[in-house]
Amino acid sequence: MVFESKHPLVKHKLALLRDMNTEPKQFRELVNELAVLIGYEAAADLPTREVDVHTPMGTAVEAQLDAKIGLIPILRAGLGMVDPIWDLIPNAEVWHIGMWRDEETLEPVWYYNKLEGTPRIGTAFILDPMLATGGSALATIDVVKQWGVARIKFLALIAAPEGIAAVHAAHPDVAIYTAAIDSHLNDIGYIVPGLGDAGDRQFGTITSSS
């Protein structure tokens, strides 16, 4: 399943995010704002339970979340999506996965895995602004499933058809939520039209070769 947002606010903010003239500060703010909107949509089917709430005028039967959520950002670009979604779901746990992409092979290279012990979460939101080749997504989904989490959602700001196809071929049960599905990957594995390197643009580390 792929959920591509059609919301006008998402499209407006995405246009600003893509702009090559957007400075890192505004870029980070836009990542934050888009993550809230995508996270809101990804949380739409979380289970709830009925509770009695005593108001000044009586008792209301309302719903509260009945699920333990884990936020799993793929370092480093995924960090920018954590705090806004954590604000939406303040009782969520945050676990970190670190990998970088080998620019020659386009394969993910692990350098950090904080998943340990028996998971207490029932649903994992994997966070990464870009779903490009799908290599990092597949590696992370594999390790999260091995950890013992059965329900996984992948949240991205921009996705390429190649990455979506790779995830669905290996993990058809993983839902993908994104602000946009772009055209294709270029010969160096970047999304077109995309927005460049999301990590570099967030952290101000763009070089002449980026």
Q: Which of 18, 28, 101, 151 is catalytic?
A: 101
Q: Which of 18, 22, 28, 200 is catalytic?
A: 200
The question of whether 105 is a catalytic residue gets the answer: yes
Q: Which of 76, 128, 182, 197 is catalytic?
A: 197
Beta strands 175-181 and 2-4: pairing type?
A: parallel
Tell me phi and psi for residue 29, to 5 degrees.
Answer: -65, -40
Q: Which of 48, 49, 105, 142 is catalytic?
A: 105
The question of whether 102 is a catalytic residue gets the answer: no
Preceding omega of 193 cis (within 30 degrees of 0): yes
The question of whether 200 is a catalytic residue gets the answer: yes
The question of whether 173 is a catalytic residue gets the answer: no
- CA 119 to each of CA 98, 101, 114, 160: distance values in angstroms, whole numbers, following the listed order: 18, 27, 12, 30
Please give the span between the terminal C-alpha atoms of the chain, in angstroms, as a whole number.
Answer: 32
Active site positions, annotated: 101, 105, 197, 200
